[in-house]
């Protein structure tokens, strides 16, 4: 049971989301700012929340209203930061963590003071270009901090793929 809207008080400081930011990323950045665990931050808006991943992938409209209130935002904006509205055919290709990134956007995010931001498109397995800047997404290798695009077995097909 979700508590009444009046129970969720907006945060005093709101960090601006970066373009295409994933909801869990935005929540985590706020959690870091306020010095609490990310799930604690999410539960501030939705006490019954079980995981950030659940919020990213199965956020209900009523829950989005509560999160929007906490972050002084609109519920439509919150829902757009998730994959909740994706058809099942696309939802199957949503990765549980960032599997790729956009180097250009990462640099811009760092300049905005959001170096740890994760974009929604980074978990979308079908994407090959960034929806923000149209640059090519770079693969992230498990445990590696740097992209590994130069190791892609499909490197030779890139020019054909974008035509
Ligand atoms: Zn980009």
Distance 107 CA to ligand 1 centre (A): 9
What's the CA-to-centroid distance between 112 and ligand 1, angstroms?
14
In a domain, 37, yes or no: yes
Q: How many Å lie between the centroid of ligand 1 and the Cα of residue 47?
A: 34
Neighbours of 123 (CB within 10 A): 23
Q: Count of CB atoms within 10 A of residue 147's CB?
A: 18
pLDDT at 3: 47
pLDDT digits (tens, 9 = 90+) for 40-93: 999 999 999 999 999 999 999 999 999 999 999 999 999 999 999 999 999 999
Please give the distance, rounded to the nearest whole angstrom, from the Cα atom of residue 129 to the centre of ligand 1: 8
Higher pLDDT, 158 or 101: 101
Using the mean position of ligand 1's atoms as its centre, give its distance from the Cα of residue 48 in Å: 34
Q: Are 22 and 81 in contact (CB under 8 A)?
A: yes
Tokens of 59: 């956020």
Distance, CA 8 to ligand 1 centroid (Å)? 33
Q: What are the structure tokens assigned to 110, written together?
A: 């760092």
Tell me what pLDDT residue 31 has.
Answer: 97
Split into its structural domains, the chain has a count of 1
Q: Is residue 156 part of a domain?
A: no
pLDDT band at 115 (very low <50, low <70, confident <90, very high): very high
Specify if 111 maps to a domain.
Answer: no
The Cα–Cα gap between 128 and 80 comes to 20
For residue 56, the enclosing domain spans 13-86
pLDDT at 1 over 50: no
Whole-number Cα distances in Å, 99 to 28, 68, 83, 85, 119? 18, 27, 15, 20, 11
Tell how far the Cα of 49 is from the centroid of ligand 1, in angstroms: 30
Question: Is residue 147 in a domain?
Answer: no
Domain assignment present for residue 152? The answer is: no
pLDDT tens-digit map of 131-148:
999 999 999 875 545 444
Please report whether residue 134 resides in a domain.
no
pTM of the model as a whole: 0.84
Give the pLDDT mean for 125-131.
95
| Cα of 109 from ligand 1 centre, angstroms | 10
């Amino acid at each position: 049971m979700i508590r009444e809207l009046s129970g969720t008080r907006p945060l005093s400081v709101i960090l601006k989301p970066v373009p295409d930011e994933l909801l869990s990323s935005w929540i985590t950045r706020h959690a870091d700012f306020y010095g609490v665990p990310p799930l604690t931050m999410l539960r501030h808006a939705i006490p019954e929340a079980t995981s950030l991943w659940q919020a990213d992938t199965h956020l209900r409209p009523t829950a989005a209203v509560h999160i929007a209130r906490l972050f002084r935002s609109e519920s439509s904006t919150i829902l757009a930061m998730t994959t909740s509205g994706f058809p099942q055919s696309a939802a199957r290709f949503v990765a549980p963590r960032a599997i790729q990134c956009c180097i250009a956007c990462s640099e811009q995010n760092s300049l905005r003071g959001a170096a740890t931001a994760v974009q929604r498109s980074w978990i979308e397995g079908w994407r090959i270009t960034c929806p923000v800047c149209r640059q090519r997404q770079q693969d992230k290798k498990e445990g590696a901090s740097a992209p590994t695009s130069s190791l892609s077995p499909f490197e030779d097909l890139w020019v054909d793929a974008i035509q």
